[in-house]
Homo-oligomer: A and B are copies of this chain.
Amino acid sequence: MTTTVTTAVPTTDPRTGQEADTGLQTTAPEEVAACVARADRAAPQLSALSRAVRADLLDTLADALEARRADLVETAGRETGLADARLQGELSRSVFQLRLFGEALREGSYLEATIDHAGATPLGPGPDLRRMLVPIGPVAVFGASNFPFAFSVPGGDTASALAAGCPVVLKAHGSHPLTSQLAFDVMEAAARDAGAPEGVLGMVFGQAAGAALVADPRIRAVSFTGSLSGGRALLEIINRREEPVPFFGELSSLNPVVVTPGAVAARAGDLATGLFGSVTGSGGQLCTKPGVAFVPSGAEGDALVDALADLTGHGAGHVLLNRRIYDAYAEITGRLAAVPGAEVVAEGSAAAEGFTVAPRLLTTTAKQLTPELTEECFGPLVVVVRYDGVDDLQHALTRVPRSLTATIHAEADEGALSTDLAERLTPLVGRLVFNGYPTGVRVSWAQHHGGPWPATNSQHTSVGVSALRRFLRPVAWQDAPEAVLPPELRDGETGVARRVDGVLTLPAQA
């Protein structure tokens, strides 16, 4: 007889640090397996639903979340310490995301439907070939601490996997178990009422359950937003599987901001305000938070740094999400401050209660920018790097790690410098921002939220419509009878864009 030990899952109020009981338990291995089995059974049923029905299902989930907005936001507020306005906006984003993927489903060109008719080719007779993307199968989605909605249970990974036609088994983040459970209950009930196959949504609690989930051979892809060490651990489990599967990790990002001499001369004050807002928004706990900013030396740069120091010094405390992030902030800011050449030039005040910390501003010089100073630090901290001329800047940029984003603040008359900086920064990142801030990621068709490792695996996005591509794989049918083909690959008008004999063709107008 084996006895499975499960443990209680507590919730913590980060404003006080007080733990409370949730009534939830970590998920036992056999229940993880049962959950994946349900997802595996649901996979062909979900895949067989038409695109229109899947789009309607996403709309239904969006409506259900909207209907429980007050409860969801209130619960998430207690568990994360995030402000009401931020959580309202995040829930709106999650709801919008579900609907946007529904639109993409209805439009259908994400399928990449392609037909090559049989016929003579320079290499001899060719068979009829038809290619399309199909769902990859059950997906494990790991919720993130810093987005209780948009990168957790009702988030973009769930939305894009369901849109792709893949059942989702969630690993709830320990930072917000009650929010996860509530969102899950709302979505599961809505899916059931809408007649979705049983098992399209499942959820597990606890680190061991998450590891078991990733190791399960029926899981066909894993998405994770979190720390580099957490991502590495999951990747190791995947590499020990008999069949490794795609891993979509969004792990770590420094998001350099470069301020040119022209920009600092024109708008030092605005830059200080904008940068401070971007660094401290959501307590600096965004994957796109600018961790390092390059500012020219000299009086105009001093004006920016002085203004930023002033804002930081007068800055209120920020409640961080959990004890781990709180402890790491103290540890990393301490480590950064101890690097030769680094100086803490301003620090705000913070109540000593719970996981509250003060914003901090560090400075150094481009010549003293070492790898130790480019460590990602979650929380309201930025390192300002002063540079002496363009060469000094360019040289320092070679020491900046790969990231989700890079930002350039430049004036219109600095065209050559802008182009030069863009050429240098593009290989390092997935998104290049001009005269703005990397935080606040637009959810749209053209978004790319990814970048070379450790930002992500570089080829896929976790925000925007093309996030769908992570959970799809191509299949080609050769000389297949019409009845076997998916509707979108059959002869005649199908309502989706297709490439036919090499020529991209739009659907006939309705």
Residues of A within 8 A of B (CB): 43-44, 89, 92-93, 96, 103, 107, 109, 112, 114-116, 121-123, 126-127, 129-131, 134, 136-137, 220, 235-236, 239, 243-246, 402, 412, 415, 418-419, 422-423, 426-427, 429-436, 442-448, 450, 452-454, 457-461, 464, 466, 472-481, 483-484, 497, 499, 501-502, 504, 506
Contact = CB atoms under 8 A, between A and B. Distances in A.
Contacts of A442: 116, 121, 123, 126-127, 129, 478
Contacts of A116: 442, 444-447
A431 B243 contact: no
A213 to B, nearest CB: 18
Contacts of A429: 475
B130 A459 contact: no
A415 B485 CA distance: 12
25 contacts: A44-B423, A92-B122, A96-B122, A114-B446, A116-B447, A129-B444, A131-B464, A235-B239, A236-B239, A243-B452, A244-B453, A244-B457, A415-B483, A418-B481, A418-B484, A419-B483, A431-B477, A432-B477, A434-B477, A434-B478, A434-B484, A448-B475, A459-B474, A461-B474, A497-B504
A446 B137 CA distance: 22
Nearest to A402: B243
A385 B279 CA distance: 64
A432 B478 contact: yes
A473 B459 contact: yes
A448 B131 contact: yes
B481 A412 contact: yes
Contacts of A445: 114, 116, 131, 499, 501-502
Contacts of A506: 504, 506
A430 B422 CA distance: 39
Contact of A459 (B136, B435, B483, B484): B136
A480 B127 CA distance: 45
A504 B446 CA distance: 12
Contacts of A92: 122-123
Contacts of A459: 136, 246, 472-474
Contacts of A236: 239
A484 B419 contact: yes
A478 B136 contact: no
Given A239-B235, A458-B246, A481-B415, A432 B474 contact: no
Contacts of A127: 433, 436, 442
A95 to B, nearest CB: 9
Nearest to A431: B476
A479 B112 contact: no
A131 B447 contact: yes
Contacts of A435: 479
A238 to B, nearest CB: 10
**A-B interface, 10 closest residue pairs, ranked by CB to CB distance from nearest:** A448-B476, A129-B446, A131-B446, A114-B446, A243-B453, A116-B446, A448-B474, A433-B478, A431-B476, A116-B444
A235 B235 CA distance: 12
A457 B246 contact: yes
A466 B112 contact: yes
